[in-house]
Structure 1
Amino acid sequence: MADDAALRKSLICLAAIMVFLGLYIHSLKKTMATYLFGMFAIAGIVLPDWEFFDRPVSQWTSPLSVPQMLPHSPPTPTRFRFYPIRTIIYMMIYGYAFYKWWVFISST
């Protein structure tokens, strides 16, 4: 992973959310559900090989070709390209997961 700082910040934020939720709800089960949801969310957003997934969805099944670069040329930043289908897929998956987490957390 090229950017370890993003992973560290995400894990620190998740730990802070878990501490706050654990103190507010007093439920180890719900705190652990928050931990699992947070780890899956972090793993799905921060850890993937973005050079592979930063292509149109129709090309995800084909191998990634390595561009021919000069030995000391910096790679071009391609992390934040917008592809509507990928965004819709991510929103559906994370929206449903967030909904199920919220229903579990807000239940008495």
Structure 2
Amino acid sequence: MANDAVLRTCLVCLGALVLVIGLYTYSFKKMFATYVYGILGIAGILLPDWEFFDRDFSQWVYPMSADTDSTQPPRSKRFRIYPMRVILYTMIYSFGLYKWWMYVFNT
């Protein structure tokens, strides 16, 4: 990861959210569920900046060659938005957020 400040900020925000959930629900299990869901969410959003995942979605199932072509200009570190990636992330995180919300606030 090129920028550790983003990771630190996300982890601090997650810690604050876990504390708020703990104060609101008085439940260690719900705090733990919030922490686990938050860590998975942070990892799922920040880790795909790796070169392997920074390809078209259809190429994810194929191995990536270890050769780096020095004649090509260096690839931008900017996160590229591919429609299938956005759709996949939206579906997974929406379902996970819904299940987390139902567990924390309705149980």
TM-score, length of structure 2 as denominator length = 0.84
What are the ranges of 5 or more consecutive residues in structure 1 without an aligned counterpart? none
The structural deviation recorded for 1:62 is: 2.6
Q: CA deviation at 1:32?
A: 0.8
Q: Could you give the per-residue CA deviations for residues 5-54 of structure 1, whole angstroms, max 9, x where no partner exists? A: 11111100000111111112111111111001001101111123532112
Contact 1:50–1:79, Cα closer than 8 Å, also in 2: no
Which secondary structure does the structure 2 equivalent of 1:62 belong to? coil
Give the Cα–Cα distance (whole angstroms) in 1 for the partners of residues 45 and 5 of structure 2.
14
Is 1:68 aligned with 2:77?
Answer: no
Equivalenced residue count is 105
Tell me how far apart the structure 1 counterparts of residues 59 and 69 of structure 2 sit (CA, whole Å): 16
Aligned runs of 1:28-107 on 2, under 5 Å?
28-65=28-65, 66-68=68-70, 75-107=74-106
Task: Give the conservation status (yes or no) of the 8 Å contact 1:10–1:42.
Answer: yes
8 Å CA contact 2:48–2:54 kept in 1: the answer is: no
User: CA separation in 2, counterparts of 1:101 and 1:90?
Assistant: 16
- Aligned equivalents of 1:57 and 1:77: distance in 2? 18
Cα distance in 2 between the residues matched to 1:77 and 1:26 = 45
CA distance in 1, matches of 2:29, 2:48: 28
Q: Which moved more, 1:55-64 or 1:28-37?
A: 55-64
Name the CA distance, whole Å, in 2 between partners of 1:16 and 1:106: 17
Equivalent pairs: percent with the same residue? Answer: 52
**Alignment-derived partner of residue 17 in structure 2:** 17
